[in-house]
Structure formats: structure tokens, C-alpha cells
């Protein structure tokens, strides 16, 4: 009898440790964590793995059955006073666009995951959706969408465009400055954090679940407000898209942090190129946002050629 066979028969704990090693290795391959996917991205391509099974999911069919599309759907909802806030299954994979307030919220290229969703404000008059896009387990984009389901009394459209006149913006575009009771504008800026408890909660959830989040985003903000006929209130639709200017598969910024300030960006070609690419993308994407949230989007899915933003994951991943 060889030494290996004697050890196998006389050391049951060692034998069980081998069994468990094989078991947990297979389990990790089939259900990889975001951190493990970051270390070994090839796991996402394994046939039969949880990531592989959910990657092809597309909207609107899959989105219509997810809690991201329906603030009233069941999930691990945690009411906050009169507000209704839900934390859907973050493993849900969404692409193209999702139903939102009777319209379509277009999504940039890549696979998106619902982070928070719900209704806030007086009587739940404001619907919101916060989604995150990942590439090899790393957050490469965040969408924060809000829209009103009825006019907000006492809300004037005059002050809504303030964000588009911020001197810190890389660039701003005013599309309609109150003519006909409609204001519409968009801007590109460096993200400077948020005072919103909802947004901070969404990022905390991403951190808690183990998703690596870059230290900085370049943010595009689109807002459209329309006044009621008697000017007693206004309807609002707004979408912020946070794009991560990072090297693929890492959280390393394309340029050091100080060079993402408006006054310094011209000194770092990589940062300046990313900002300019974001501006070019947003010039076309704003029409897709308007079509989805107001006029209707053919097929309920964003056109692929217009949806590829500068931070989009490489095709095929």
C-alpha cells in the first residue's frame, strides 16, 4: 500500500478538506463575487455560471419584470417615511432601455444593474431610478433618472436651469430657455459629490456589495421642465449619467485627480480627450433621452450607434 493510499484511509479530515476544496472551487466559478470577477474576469464567460446566464438579458422584456422598472414591485423595500424606496436584486441585467413612468429610460451601452428605485416627494410625485453599469466587476457608469408623474405646484422653471449655468461645467448647452413654457438644457462637468441622501445611499450599497467604484466621474446632466398652462407648477424630467474615466478593467483614472478640474484639464491630454468625447456623445444622446422620456423610443431600446459613451465597456465583454 502506497503512502498516498494510507494517508487517504487514515486521515478523514484531510480527505474531507479535499472534497470541500473541489466543491467550493466549483461554487466560486458558478457564482463569482464582483471582487473575484475583477481578479479573474474570464469567470464571466464560463458556460453555466450565474454571470454567464444573466449576461444576455435585454430590455424591455427583462426590465418589465424587474423591480427596477416598477417602484411598487416587491423586493427588499425599506420605506423611508412617506417615501417609498426599494433596493432591487442588483444581479438583474438590463440593456437598451427600461420602462419608466409610462415611457422609456434609454440606457447607454453595456449591462446595467438596478441599485435603488422608488417614489419620493409630496404624495410620491417624483419617480426615480438609479442604475450602475459594470465591466469586469468595476463600476463604469451610473444613471440617476427622475421624473414627475404630475405637475409640482409652486415649482417654477426659472431656477431649474441653474446647473447649466454653473461656471465649473466643462461645457453647457441651452436648448430651450423658457420659450413656450419649456426649458431644456444639458451640461458636462466633473462630479463633485452629492448632498442627496438617496444618491449617497445608492453608492453605499455598491460599496457594501463589493463593487469597486472609481474616485471620480465625469457627469452629464440633462433636464427638461415644462410649465403648466396657468404657470402654477411644472413637470420635470432629468437624467444624470456618470461616466468613469478609467483604464479598462481597473479603477485607475486616465489622468491624475487634479487634472480633472476645469482649469487644469487642458494640461492632461487623456483627460481633455475624454471630456471632449463625452461632449460629442452627449450632443446626440440628448435626443435619445428626450425621445425615450417624452416622445417615444422606437422598440423601447436606445440605438446602439448612439448609446456607446466614452466609458462603455469594450464590445464583446
- pLDDT band of residue 56 (cuts 50, 70, 90) is very low
Q: Where are the alpha helices (DSSP H) in the chain?
A: 3-10, 12-30, 34-39, 50-54, 197-208, 269-290, 304-307
Cell numbers that stand for 181 in this block: 413654457
Would the pLDDT of 267 be above 60?
A: yes
d(CA 315, CA 38): 17
Residue with cell 459594470: 134
How far is it, in rounded angstroms, from Cα 169 to Cα 191? 10
- The three three-digit cell numbers of residue 143, written as one number: 444613471
Q: What is the pLDDT of residues 9-22, one digit of tens each?
A: 666 766 666 666 66
Q: Is the pLDDT of residue 50 over 60?
A: no
Cα 288 from Cα 107, distance rounded (Å): 9
Question: In this structure, are residues 190 and 216 in contact, taking their beta carbons and an 8 Å threshold?
Answer: yes
For 2-9, what is the mean pLDDT? Answer: 66
DSSP conformational letter for 72? T
What are the pLDDT digits (tens) for 164-220? 788 889 999 988 876 677 888 999 999 877 778 889 999 999 999 999 999 999 999
Q: Which residue has the cell 450602475?
A: 132
Average pLDDT over every residue of 137-142: 95
66, burial (CB in 10 Å: exposed 0-12, middle 13-18, buried 19+): buried
Asked, as a colleague might, if the bond just before 121 is cis with ω within 30 of 0, I would say no
Q: How confident is the model at residue 230 (pLDDT cuts 50, 70, 90)?
A: confident
Block residue for cell numbers 478609467: 246
Read off φ and ψ for residue 236, nearest 5 degrees: -135, 140
Q: Which residue has the cell 427588499?
A: 76
Contact 84, 70 (CB under 8 A): no
Say which residue the cell 452629492 belongs to: 194
Task: Output b/e per residue, 74-85; b: 16+ Cβ within 10 A.
Answer: ebebeeeeebbb
Global pTM reads: 0.73
Strand-pair category, 112-120 with 84-86: antiparallel
Amino acid at each position: 500500500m502506497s503512502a498516498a493510499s494510507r494517508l487517504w484511509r487514515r486521515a478523514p479530515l484531510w480527505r474531507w478538506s479535499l472534497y470541500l476544496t473541489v466543491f467550493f472551487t466549483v461554487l466560486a466559478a458558478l457564482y463569482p463575487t464582483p471582487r473575484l470577477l475583477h481578479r479573474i474576469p474570464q469567470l464571466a464567460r464560463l458556460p453555466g455560471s450565474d454571470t454567464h446566464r444573466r449576461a444576455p438579458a435585454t430590455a424591455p422584456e427583462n426590465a418589465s419584470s424587474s423591480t427596477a422598472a416598477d417602484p411598487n414591485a416587491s423586493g427588499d423595500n425599506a420605506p423611508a417615511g412617506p417615501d417609498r424606496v426599494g433596493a432591487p436584486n442588483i444581479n438583474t441585467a438590463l440593456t437598451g432601455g427600461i420602462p419608466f413612468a409610462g415611457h422609456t429610460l434609454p440606457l447607454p451601452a453595456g449591462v446595467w444593474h438596478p441599485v435603488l428605485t422608488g417614489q419620493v416627494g409630496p404624495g410620491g410625485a417624483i419617480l426615480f431610478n438609479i442604475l450602475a453599469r459594470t465591466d469586469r466587476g468595476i463600476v463604469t457608469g451610473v444613471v440617476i433618472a427622475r421624473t414627475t408623474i404630475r405637475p409640482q405646484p409652486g415649482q417654477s422653471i426659472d431656477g431649474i436651469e441653474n446647473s447649466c449655468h454653473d461656471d465649473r461645467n466643462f461645457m453647457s448647452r441651452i436648448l430651450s430657455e423658457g420659450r413656450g413654457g419649456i426649458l431644456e438644457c444639458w451640461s458636462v462637468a466633473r462630479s463633485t459629490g452629492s448632498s442627496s441622501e438617496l444618491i449617497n445611499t445608492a453608492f453605499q450599497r455598491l460599496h457594501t456589495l463589493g463593487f469597486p467604484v472609481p474616485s471620480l466621474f465625469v457627469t452629464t446632466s440633462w433636464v427638461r421642465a415644462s410649465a403648466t398652462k396657468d404657470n402654477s407648477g411644472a413637470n420635470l424630467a432629468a437624467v444624470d449619467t456618470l461616466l468613469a474615466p478609467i483604464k479598462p478593467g481597473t479603477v485607475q483614472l486616465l489622468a491624475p485627480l487634479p487634472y480633472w478640474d476645469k482649469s487644469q484639464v487642458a494640461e492632461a491630454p487623456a483627460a481633455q480627450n475624454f471630456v471632449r468625447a463625452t461632449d460629442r456623445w452627449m450632443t446626440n444622446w440628448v435626443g435619445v433621452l428626450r425621445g425615450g422620456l417624452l416622445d417615444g423610443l422606437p422598440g423601447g431600446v436606445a440605438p446602439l450607434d448612439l448609446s456607446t459613451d466614452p466609458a462603455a465597456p469594450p464590445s464583446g465583454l
